[in-house]
């Protein structure tokens, strides 16, 4: 998806620079104007032949300039690792996992449970089972947990994103899986809090209300200029992706307010240790 967005934005710039309409561009590759629009937004896959024809139409004939774009077109069709989890991964969440993997910075606020990137295997199991109506098939549970742990490898990679996670104290006090599971999860959070690219804060009950009355959200930022910052809002049967500048800015202000109101990283570690002792 990220490759498609990058390629689409470059094709749009090239088209606009030479004054070609979407209708004319579509005609050149035997497609509709709406198909060009979807391509430029990165919402469809690219055929190398179509990209080559569009580059010619836009006057891009230098192989040194065409080559990288054609390579990008070819690589944009490759499935990400998460596509192997299609059996347990809703389409709307596939989009998020792909964007999360490409983000330079992940900022998140959680209310009900620990963020997926920071969950232990046992805690993830308890969360998956508790959120399923009835008794979920064992194989499905194991696949969902494996997906969550695979996502977590981001934090151990050489080019890991910066993660800023604000947890409501409720997420730490709500027991998932019993005492041993919670103790392991709290200990793991303490370990993650020491990672140089992870900032962990807790919004404590003692500070009263705060600015995030709208609930949990995640804000993703990217190093590529062509990719807009966006806010991810998960719902019961789908998700919202907000990328308008004003909307993203509003959530950034909320996150900034949360960071000011929450415990600092050191105080957060003290609270995590205190909660472990109280189990």
Task: Name all domains of the chain by residue range, CATH numbers in brackets.
Answer: 2-75 (1.10.260.40), 86-278 (3.30.870)
Alpha-carbon torsion (184, 185, 187, 191), positive or negative: positive
pLDDT digits (tens, 9 = 90+) for 155-196: 999 889 999 999 999 999 999 999 999 999 999 999 999 999
How much of the chain exceeds pLDDT 70, in percent?
Answer: 96
Angle between helices 48-57 and 2-17 (to 10 degrees): 20
Instruction: Give the pLDDT of residue 218.
Output: 96
Encode 228-244: b = buried (16+ Cβ within 10 Å), e = exposed: bbbbbeeeeeebeebee
Around Cβ 159, how many Cβ atoms within 10 Å? 8
Q: Which range, of 17-31, 62-76, 183-197, averages the lowest pLDDT? A: 62-76
Instruction: Give the pLDDT of residue 58.
Output: 94
Q: Tell me the two tokens of residue 171.
A: 């997420």
Contact (Cβ atoms closer than 8 angstroms) between residue 54 and residue 66:
no
Adjacent-strand bridge partners of 166: 109, 201
Please list, in sequence order, all residues whose beta carbon lies within 8 angstroms of the beta carbon of residue 224, skipping any fewer than 6 positions away. 2, 6
pLDDT digits (tens, 9 = 90+) for 225-269: 767 888 999 988 888 888 888 999 999 999 999 999 999 999 999
Q: What is the mean pLDDT of residues 212-225?
A: 86
Q: Tell me the two tokens of residue 220.
A: 């993703």
Instruction: Give the pLDDT of residue 135.
Output: 66
Adjacent-strand bridge partners of 239: 234
Burial label for 59, CB within 10 Å (0-12, 13-18, 19+), is: exposed
Instruction: Give the pLDDT of residue 134.
Output: 65
Instruction: Give dist(CA 150, CA 197) in Å, integer.
Output: 18
pTM, rounded to two decimals: 0.80
Instruction: Give dist(CA 156, CA 196) in Å, integer.
Output: 11
Name the pLDDT band for 132 (thresholds 50, 70, 90): low
Nearest alpha-carbon partner for 193 in 132, 109, 268, 249: 268
Adjacent-strand bridge partners of 163: 106, 198
Alpha-carbon torsion (267, 270, 276, 278), positive or negative: negative
């Amino acid at each position: 998806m990220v490759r498609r967005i990058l390629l689409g934005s470059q094709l749009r710039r090239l088209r606009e620079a030479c004054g070609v309409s979407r209708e004319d561009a579509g005609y050149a590759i035997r497609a509709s104007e709406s198909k060009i629009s979807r391509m430029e937004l990165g919402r469809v896959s690219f055929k190398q032949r179509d990209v080559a024809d569009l580059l010619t139409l836009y006057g891009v004939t230098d192989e040194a300039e065409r080559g990288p774009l054609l390579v990008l077109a070819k690589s944009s069709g490759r499935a990400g690792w998460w596509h192997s989890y299609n059996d347990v991964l809703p389409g709307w969440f596939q989009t998020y996992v792909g964007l999360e993997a490409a983000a330079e910075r992940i900022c998140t606020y959680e209310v009900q449970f620990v963020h997926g990137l920071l969950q232990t295997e046992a805690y993830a199991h308890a969360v998956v089972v508790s959120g399923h109506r009835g008794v979920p098939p064992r194989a499905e549970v194991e696949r969902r947990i494996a997906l969550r742990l695979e996502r977590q490898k981001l934090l151990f990679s050489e080019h890991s994103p910066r993660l800023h996670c604000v947890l409501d104290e409720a997420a730490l006090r709500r027991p998932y899986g019993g005492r041993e599971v919670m103790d392991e999860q709290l200990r793991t959070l303490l370990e993650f809090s020491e990672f140089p690219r992870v900032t962990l804060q807790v919004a404590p009950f003692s500070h009263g209300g705060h600015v995030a009355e709208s609930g949990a959200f995640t804000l993703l930022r990217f190093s590529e200029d062509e990719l807009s910052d966006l806010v991810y809002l998960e719902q019961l049967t789908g998700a919202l992706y907000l990328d308008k500048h004003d909307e993203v800015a509003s959530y950034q202000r909320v996150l900034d307010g949360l960071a000011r109101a929450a415990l600092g990283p050191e105080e957060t570690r003290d609270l995590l240790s205190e909660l472990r002792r109280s189990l």
